[in-house]
């Protein structure tokens, strides 16, 4: 047995307990850090070969373990830009060097440029809707840009499409002469024509009202032994409401070129549409084309009804910014309408507990953690984003205080071993005196 060996073993034990105390100190210091994941110290023995009746004491080594995959408690806040992840996944953020890293810390606030930045100074990254609905890049961070929620001024969006749904009365009469069809733009339109109006928006956000006229044109009797229900063809004619005639008993004739769009809608004997239902509004005044979809219409034995829902938006200021569970960042306008701005993805790895911990409560992937896979929230096993909430630290304060006491006692015991070895060395030295 080596006295020096026992002293070195005691030093190894003291170093191991010092490492343990360091992880405890880190955990206690970050007990209130959003998204912080606790670290712990694991011990493993170092054994030296022994021979005969001699035992060579070895030592102990430590390794740090991370509880990254353990969910922290979620608490709600008053800020809509505070984000928490319920389930698996990490936010993708970037620091001043522009390198994307991962974090669970979602305490984001606007900086002076409108970018969402957390307490450690990392910018939240997302996909922009500037080029339409974004697609995720599953194996990388390409296409990600900082999420900016500065939406000053007014925003106007021209209408490009619209959907019209409802019912055309199957008992409606057919006009006697073509001159009575609305498409003829004459004052002889009959009362059997049904009219409804819809508001759309031009490029400047001005409201433009269009009048829609639906008129039955023909009926095809069903062959026996089918029931007396019949297939039918209807005309839809659309006009600018601002061009309607004034001072008379009818809106016809409309000025400035008449109809801005006409089409034919056909229905089978069950009242279901058999044509495509696609008819365009081509407005020469605004210079825009609106693709209308009438495929949601039916022809049944009920009163006429219809609702139109065009896209586009009036010139309206942004009132607020909201984020839903799918990670879509919306601008909410004063008139109640919304517009998607960004979509926030989440990233994950096969072994989150093996990620490399970096300053700022962020992580980077390595060979042990596995490849980073990116996806949208609530897809491929990824969690849900909760707006107005924060994930707290998963540190158990009572457990950490217990660990601290145990570490102190173990450190003291190892120091006693060292002290005893030192006393024995004194005895050996004094033998020579």
**Partner residues linked to 302 by β-bridges:** none
- pLDDT at site 401: 95
Tokens linked to 258: 């008449």
> What does the DSSP 8-state code read for residue 349?
-
- pLDDT at site 120: 94
- pLDDT at site 276: 95
Closest CA to 91 of 325, 346, 326: 346
pLDDT in tens, 82-94: 999 999 999 999 9
- pLDDT at site 225: 55
Q: Could you tell me if 296 and 166 are in contact, meaning their C-beta atoms sit under 8 angstroms apart? A: yes
- pLDDT at site 30: 95
Q: Could you tell me if 314 and 339 are in contact, meaning their C-beta atoms sit under 8 angstroms apart? A: no
Mean pLDDT of the chain: 90
192/274 Cα distance (integer angstroms): 22
332/338 Cα distance (integer angstroms): 5
Decide: helix, strand or coil at residue 6: helix
Alpha helices in 269-375 (DSSP H): none
- pLDDT at site 430: 85
- pLDDT at site 17: 93
**Partner residues linked to 349 by β-bridges:** none
- pLDDT at site 191: 67
Tokens linked to 339: 């517009």
pLDDT in tens, 95-153: 999 999 999 999 999 998 989 999 999 999 999 998 889 999 988 899 999 999 887 66
- pLDDT at site 58: 82
- pLDDT at site 223: 57
The residue ranges of the chain whose pLDDT is under 70 are 1, 152-153, 190-191, 220-230, 433
């Amino acid at each position: 047995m080596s006295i020096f060996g026992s002293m070195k073993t005691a030093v190894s034990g003291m170093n191991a307990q010092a490492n343990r105390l360091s992880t405890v100190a880190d955990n206690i210091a970050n007990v209130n850090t959003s998204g912080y994941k606790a670290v712990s110290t694991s011990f493993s023995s170092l054994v030296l070969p022994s021979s005969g009746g001699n035992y060579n004491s070895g030592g102990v080594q430590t390794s740090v373990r991370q509880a990254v995959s353990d969910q922290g408690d979620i608490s709600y806040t008053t800020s809509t830009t505070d984000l928490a992840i319920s389930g698996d996944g990490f936010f993708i953020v970037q620091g001043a060097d522009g390198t994307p890293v991962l974090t669970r810390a979602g305490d984001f606030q606007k900086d002076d440029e409108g970018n969402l930045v957390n307490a450690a100074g990392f910018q939240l990254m997302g996909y922009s809707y500037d080029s339409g609905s974004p697609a995720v890049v599953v194996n990388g961070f390409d296409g990600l840009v900082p999420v900016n929620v500065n939406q000053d001024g007014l925003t106007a969006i021209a209408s490009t499409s619209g959907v019209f749904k409802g019912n055309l009365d199957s008992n409606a009469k057919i006009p006697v002469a073509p001159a009575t069809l609305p498409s003829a733009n004459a004052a002889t339109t009959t009362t059997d024509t049904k009219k409804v109006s819809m508001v759309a928006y031009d490029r400047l956000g001005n409201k433009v009202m269009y009048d829609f006229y639906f008129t039955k044109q023909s009926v095809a009797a069903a062959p026996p032994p089918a029931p007396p229900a019949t297939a039918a063809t209807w005309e839809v004619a659309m006009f600018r409401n601002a061009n309607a005639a004034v001072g008379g008993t009818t809106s016809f004739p409309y000025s400035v070129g008449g109809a801005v769009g006409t089409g034919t809608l056909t229905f089978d004997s069950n009242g279901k549409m058999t044509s495509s239902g696609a008819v365009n509004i081509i407005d020469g005044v605004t210079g825009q084309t609106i693709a209308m979809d009438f495929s949601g219409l039916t022809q049944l034995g009920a009163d006429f009804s219809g609702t139109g829902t065009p896209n586009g938006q009036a010139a309206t200021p942004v009132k607020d910014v909201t984020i839903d569970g799918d990670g879509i960042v919306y601008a909410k306008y004063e008139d109640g309408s919304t517009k998607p701005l960004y979509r926030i993805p989440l990233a994950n790895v096969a072994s989150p507990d093996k990620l490399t911990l970096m300053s700022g409560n962020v992580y980077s992937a390595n060979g042990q953690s596995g490849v980073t896979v990116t996806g949208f929230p609530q897809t491929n096993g990824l969690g849900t984003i909760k707006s107005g909430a924060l994930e707290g630290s998963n540190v158990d304060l009572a457990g950490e205080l217990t660990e601290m006491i145990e570490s102190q006692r173990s450190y003291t015991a190892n120091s006693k071993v060292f002290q005893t070895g030192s006393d024995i060395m004194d005895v050996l030295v004094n033998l020579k005196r």
